[in-house]
């Protein structure tokens, strides 16, 4: 039984983590942490946990956390993660960090896009990027895993089969991303109010979303070639789910059948990726850890469509998938299907 702590327990991702872990046969939630005063019971923060988890949210130090749990999920905002990672590692914890703090290879990239000096730059470039379908061989032995962003994993999974085999031009890729509102977090802001988001779709952060450099880097690492994508995210009036519609130029003649077979072979044996024939809906995968994807050819362009649940396969689910791999458990243990 893996004893687990969740640091940053008030957000939507943490709630999903808790729900998954409550059904996980080999993991046990040993501590929940927030910086809130007064150690509120978790069910006052997440009413759906009423009667299911009798734990308070405590303000614990890394040492106190390590006394209770050997495995830590950091569901913290960026900057807050790197403030505790070194101490937690020193105290013997293994960590899946759901923030962006350890996703980049170079401090300069982090600093440019996140606007903060990195206080633990020595670990950048050495931390495993926790996308099991691409880096599954390096995860089991890692002590610190950087859990991917939600747009990032959804788009990378769709494009990697083609980029890794040189089938598309790495400099002519457009990712048109569409996400449910939970992706924007649980902090009260005007633009996240129901009466603002509902019955509306809009793009945001065009040309300057922080997932753009992350996608570039990971696809470049995975394919061994310099990838540059144009990424445009949109907010869709739904709770959860991401659809990435991706447009690329084939480098040689590619039929729809070729494209589907390329994806199929690339993900053979991967339990959470399903190559489907029909056009995938986010509703097909929400509340699960699956990624569904398909491909079309339109006027000579390759169109790849990929869907996930942003809170599960895009965050909490893949985090538990990483926990499974890091603990030599079957990859699918406890994950919603």
Residue 83 binding a second copy, by CB under 8 A = no
Which residues are CB-contacts of 49 (< 8 A; sequence separation ≥ 6)? Answer: 15, 18, 19, 42, 43
Nearest-approach distance from CB 272 to a second copy, in angstroms:
10
Using the Cα atoms of residue 154, residue 245, residue 100 and residue 136 in order, give the sign of their dihedral.
positive
Which of residues 72 and 181 has its CB atom nearest to a second copy in the complex? 181
Q: Is 150 a catalytic residue?
A: yes
Residue 331 binding a second copy, by CB under 8 A = no
- CB–CB of 178/234 below 8 Å? yes
Sites for a second copy among residues 11-30 (CB under 8 A) = 12, 19, 22-23
Which of residues 122 and 188 has its CB atom nearest to a second copy in the complex? 188
Q: How many CB atoms lie within 10 A of CB 170?
A: 21
Residue 303 binding a second copy, by CB under 8 A = yes
Nearest-approach distance from CB 237 to a second copy, in angstroms:
5
Residue 325 binding a second copy, by CB under 8 A = no
Read out DSSP for 141-184?
T-SEEEPPPHHHHHHHHHHHHHHTTT-EEEEEEEEEEEE-GGGG
Sites for a second copy among residues 40-69 (CB under 8 A) = 47-48, 50-52
Nearest-approach distance from CB 323 to a second copy, in angstroms:
19
Which of residues 141 and 278 has its CB atom nearest to a second copy in the complex? 278
Residue 141 binding a second copy, by CB under 8 A = no
What are the phi and psi torsion angles at 292 (to 5°)?
-100, 140
Q: Binders of a second copy: how many residues, by CB under 8 A? A: 72
Active-site entry in 57, 150, 244, 291: 150
Rounded distance, CA 87 to CA 33, Å?
16
Which of residues 147 and 282 has its CB atom nearest to a second copy in the complex? 282
Sites for a second copy among residues 171-230 (CB under 8 A) = 174, 176, 178, 180-182, 186, 188-190, 192-204, 206-207, 228-230
Sites for a second copy among residues 234-293 (CB under 8 A) = 234, 236-241, 243, 245, 247, 274, 276, 278-288, 292
- CB–CB of 165/261 below 8 Å? no
- CB–CB of 99/76 below 8 Å? yes
Nearest-approach distance from CB 50 to a second copy, in angstroms:
5
Which of residues 88 and 285 has its CB atom nearest to a second copy in the complex? 285
Three-state secondary structure call for residue 96: strand
Stated length of the chain: 337
| CA angle in degrees (0–180, nearest 5) for 332-160-288 | 30
Rounded distance, CA 310 to CA 241, Å?
5
Q: Catalogue the active-site residues.
A: 150
């Amino acid at each position: 039984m893996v004893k687990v702590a969740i640091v940053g327990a008030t957000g939507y991702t943490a709630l999903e983590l808790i729900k998954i872990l409550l059904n996980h046969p080999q993991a046990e939630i040993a501590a929940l942490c927030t910086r809130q005063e007064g150690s509120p019971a978790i069910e006052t923060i997440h009413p759906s946990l009423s009667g299911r988890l009798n734990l308070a949210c405590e303000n614990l130090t890394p040492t106190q956390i390590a006394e209770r749990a050997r495995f830590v999920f950091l569901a913290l905002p960026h900057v807050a993660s790197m403030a505790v990672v070194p101490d937690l590692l020193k105290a013997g914890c293994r960590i899946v960090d759901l923030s962006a703090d350890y996703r980049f290879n170079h401090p300069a990239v982090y600093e440019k896009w996140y606007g903060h000096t990195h206080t633990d730059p020595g670990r950048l470039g050495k931390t495993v990027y926790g996308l099991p379908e691409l880096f599954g061989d390096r995860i089991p032995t890692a002590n610190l895993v950087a859990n991917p962003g939600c747009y990032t994993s959804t788009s990378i999974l769709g494009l990697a089969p083609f980029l890794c085999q040189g089938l598309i031009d790495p400099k002519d890729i457009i990712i048109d991303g569409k996400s449910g509102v939970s992706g924007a977090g649980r902090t009260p802001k005007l633009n996240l109010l129901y009466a603002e988001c509902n019955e509306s779709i809009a793009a945001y952060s065009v040309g300057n979303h922080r997932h753009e450099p992350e996608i570039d880097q990971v696809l470049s690492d995975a394919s061994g070639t310099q990838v540059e994508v144009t990424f445009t995210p949109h907010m869709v009036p739904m709770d959860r789910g991401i659809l990435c519609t991706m447009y690329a130029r084939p480098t040689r003649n590619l039929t729809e059948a070729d494209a589907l077979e390329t994806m199929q072979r690339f993900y053979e044996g991967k339990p959470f990726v399903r190559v489907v024939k029909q056009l995938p809906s986010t509703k097909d995968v929400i509340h699960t850890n699956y990624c569904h994807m398909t491909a079309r050819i339109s006027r000579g362009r390759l169109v790849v469509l990929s869907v996930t649940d942003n809170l599960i396969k895009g965050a909490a689910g893949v985090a538990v998938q990483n926990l499974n791999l890091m603990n030599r458990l079957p990859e699918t243990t406890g994950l919603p299907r």
